[in-house]
Structure 1
């Protein structure tokens, strides 16, 4: 619900409408379209498009459906891109931990992914002898920064093996297969920063 700002008489936009408007303006800019061009492509008036981008109105489902068609998105995809801002603090107790007991890999989602953010932080632990191979990245060109906190880790990418000791870091973009191997006589613990392209 819109409320007038104290003393100004100007209604404040709903936070979701504001994020949605900003995302719609961003999508139009990415395509290099003027409001007139988008109006021609979508069948939505320039005035409505302009007011929606400035969060002066809440676009109807019909308007969003037309825009989603033009931008090649489902409505769910578009709305997920404007979810509420991520919680700034992720308490240790709320960090999801997943284990692959067969390989000796433990993964803690220190700063989990969010539709409004491009990066995430993961703590990885590889037991002695653990060896993980991935045939491809989930997203081509994924940016990764690996910082070894304890032990020794061997990371292979682009057919090149990198041995990392405690305190060492490796940064790379992942296009093909990768391999993470505990390279020491104690557990390897590392921090992995992942940034989507």
Structure 2
């Protein structure tokens, strides 16, 4: 089994554990997340991998950021994380790649993520995983359109957007080349 397969199995197991810890049935989770019971069941059995949008819906229900959730399935927090050891998650369907540069750790309140969206990629999230969470997005290469609720922000290379996320959000690569950006998330 490869690293990606092992990660998918650990993620599936963690998602099942989060639901069980709350005493929810698959039907309960389906009602709270808007994701079908059958999809949730297949996800928890590692038969499918979550898309960015699906992971976002589950993180909202479980009040976690995607990187926080992904960090929970790793071996444990480390002080130094070499580039080759950083968790990389790819959503082929939405053409989105997320690298957890500095995984969250108990006692620390920020994380750094590198994200890459392919040209034309468009990802929408229905709600904030943790309402009011502070985020900073710094575009390293390319152009990115970010919509927070109904307010659109156009960012180019070097631009930084700082905000508290309360509701819906949308990320769209608007250039002919991929957009690469750093996301700093401040945890509560």
TM-score by length of 1: 0.56
Contact 2:142 2:180 in 1 (8 A): yes
2:179 is aligned with 1:188: yes
Aligned pair partner of 1:87 in 46, 66, 78: 78
Aligned pair partner of 2:159 in 168, 174, 190: 168
Runs of 4+ in 1 over 4 A off after TM superposition: none
TM-fit CA distance, 1:93? 1.1
2:124 is aligned with 1:99: no
Computing the radius of gyration over CA atoms, which structure comes out larger, 1 or 2? 1
Contact 1:86 1:116 in 2 (8 A): no
Instruction: Find the aligned partners of 2:121 and 2:143 in 1 and give their Cα distance.
Output: 12
Q: Equivalent residue for 2:131?
A: 140
Please report the RMSD computed on the Cα atoms of aligned residues, expressed in angstroms. 1.3
TM-fit CA distance, 1:86? 4.8
TM-score by length of 2: 0.58
Alignment: residue pair count? 113
Partner of 2:104, secondary structure, is coil
Aligned pair partner of 1:178 in 148, 169, 173: 169
Instruction: Find the aligned partners of 2:116 and 2:169 in 1 and give their Cα distance.
Output: 16
TM-fit CA distance, 1:191? 0.1
2:107 is aligned with 1:116: yes
Contact 1:155 1:162 in 2 (8 A): yes
Instruction: Find the aligned partners of 2:149 and 2:117 in 1 and give their Cα distance.
Output: 21
Q: Equivalent residue for 1:29?
A: none
| Structure 1: gaps of 5 or more residues | 1-84
Cα shift readout 1:13-53 (whole Å, capped 9, x = no counterpart): xxxxxxxxxxxxxxxxxxxxxxxxxxxxxxxxxxxxxxxxx
Instruction: Find the aligned partners of 2:92 and 2:149 in 1 and give their Cα distance.
Output: 27
Instruction: Find the aligned partners of 2:106 and 2:113 in 1 and give their Cα distance.
Output: 17
Partner of 1:123, secondary structure, is strand
Higher relative contact order (CA 8 A, sep 6+): 2
Aligned pair partner of 2:145 in 147, 154, 157: 154
